[in-house]
Every structure is written in C-alpha cells, then in structure tokens.
Amino acid sequence: MSTIIAVENYKLKGKHGVFDYEREKDQPFVVSIWVVLKEPASDDELASSVDYGFLQRTAHDVIARGDSVKMMETLCDKIIEIVSGHLNVAGVKLRIEKPDAPMPHNGGLAVVERTWPEGQTF
C-alpha cells in the first residue's frame, strides 16, 4: 500500500519568465504537488507523514519569494530539491501552470510537470 499526500491548485504570484518584462511584475502561477510517502502514516501523528503546509510553503518560498528565473523547469527543480529531501518522501510529482504565459496565439495553458525520481508513477 502506498500513500500520496498532495496540495493541488495552489494559486500564487511570482516574477519568472524568459522575457525581461515577465520578471519585472508579478504573474499568476498554479502549483500542484503530490508526494508518495516512504512509510504510511500509522500512528495518527503528523510527524509520521508530510505536512500539507510544508508543501505549500515550499512552493511559496520558491515562486513568490525566491530569485527570479527564466524557466518553469528551474522552478520545478528547486521545489523538488527541497521536497525530495523530506525524510518520509519516496517520490514527487510537480505541476506548475502559468495561465498568462505569453504565447503567439490566444488559448492554451503553459504547463511543466516533473517527477522524482525519474520514472516515478502516480
């Protein structure tokens, strides 16, 4: 049996993007993070699981408060580096959406998804 803990559709703002003007003002991002626990929480204590707040704070610290970067892939790497370091995390799936990403045509949603370790399934 495996246990997945998640925070989905966390909306926040940050200054990230390939173009200089994207890094000058806040833009919306939507983050979903799923983690697979190494060991199922069995003693009704938060310490034996992963706190949802830890996942949300990590996304917030990297996207809203962290250094501006060009690529959403870089944001993914930074978040996964932190989350994967948790003692009870065996795998991570991360999805970052950028609803207002500049694209040549109307419509569509810019999305990057990453998993750790490579090949991890959810």
* Catalytic residue flag (residue 98): yes
Sheet holding 4-14, edge to edge: 4-14, 27-37, 89-98, 110-116
- Is the separation of the CB atoms in 76 and 95 below 8 Å? no
Residue of 96, 84, 25 lying closest to 59 (CA atoms):
96
One-letter-per-residue 3-state SS of 68-115: CCCCHHHHHHHHHHHHCCCCCEEEEEEEEEECCCCCCCCCCCEEEEEE
SS3 28: strand
Phi, psi of 108 (to 5 degrees): 90, 160
Domains and CATH numbers, the chain: 4-101 (3.30.1130.10)
Q: Is the pLDDT of residue 83 over 80?
A: yes
Q: Is the pLDDT of residue 1 over 80?
A: no
Q: Which helix (H) or strand (E) holds 34?
A: strand 27-37
Tokens at 96, concatenated:
């970052």
Q: For position 2, what pLDDT does the model report?
A: 86
Q: What is the pLDDT of residues 26-76, one digit of tens each?
A: 999 999 999 999 988 888 888 889 999 999 999 999 999 999 999 999 999
Q: What is the pLDDT of residues 105-115, one digit of tens each?
A: 999 999 999 99
Question: pLDDT confidence of 121, banded at 50, 70, 90?
Answer: confident
Residue of 26, 29, 98, 88 lying closest to 54 (CA atoms):
88
